[in-house]
Chains A and B, each alone.
Chain A
Amino acid sequence: MSLLLSVSLILLTLAAYLATRRIFLAYRHPLLNPVFLSTVTIIALLKLTGYTWGDYQPAKEVMTFLLGPATVALALPLYHNRLLLRRHAPAVLAGVAAGSLTTMTAALVAGRLLSLNDTLLLSLGPKSVTVPIAVEISRLCGGEAPLTAAFVVATGMLGSILGPGTLTLLKVKHPMARGLALGTVSHGQGTAVALMESETAGAMGGVAMALAAVFTALIAPYYLPLFLH
Chain B
Amino acid sequence: MTKTTFNIAWQVLLLWLVFRLGTFLVALLHLSLPGNVAGMLIMFALLASGAVKPSLVEEGGGFLLKHFAFFFIPISVGLMTFGDLMRQSGAALLFVLTVSALVGVAATGISVKLLQGSSSR
Contact = CB atoms under 8 A, between A and B. Distances in A.
Contact of B76 (A39, A73, A180): A39
A195 to B, nearest CB: 11
Contacts of B97: 107, 124, 127, 151, 154-155, 158
Interface of A: 13-14, 16-17, 21, 34-35, 38-39, 42-43, 46-47, 52-53, 56, 59-60, 63-64, 66-80, 82, 87-88, 90-92, 94-96, 98-104, 106-107, 110-111, 114, 116, 120, 124, 127-128, 130-133, 135-137, 140, 146-147, 149-155, 158-159, 162-163, 166-167, 170, 172, 174, 176-178, 180-182, 184-186, 188-189, 192, 208, 210, 213-214, 217-218, 221
B37 A77 contact: no
Chain A binding site: helix, strand, loop or mixed by DSSP?
helix
Contacts of A151: 93, 97
Contacts of B110: 170, 172
B101 A172 contact: no
B101 A110 contact: no
B70 to A, nearest CB: 5
A98 B112 CA distance: 9
A117 to B, nearest CB: 9
A94 to B, nearest CB: 6
B12 to A, nearest CB: 6
Interface string B54-70: 10011011101101111
Given A155-B97, A167-B109, A73 B57 contact: yes
A68 B23 contact: yes
A216 B32 CA distance: 11
B104 to A, nearest CB: 3
A116 B76 contact: no
26 contacts: A13-B73, A17-B70, A21-B69, A35-B72, A35-B73, A46-B77, A53-B78, A53-B81, A60-B78, A75-B40, A77-B65, A87-B120, A91-B116, A99-B105, A131-B75, A132-B36, A132-B71, A147-B85, A150-B82, A159-B104, A176-B116, A178-B109, A181-B104, A188-B68, A189-B69, A218-B33
B98 A158 contact: yes
Given A63-B71, A79-B54, A103 B115 contact: no
Contact of A133 (B37, B44, B108, B115): B37
A160 to B, nearest CB: 9
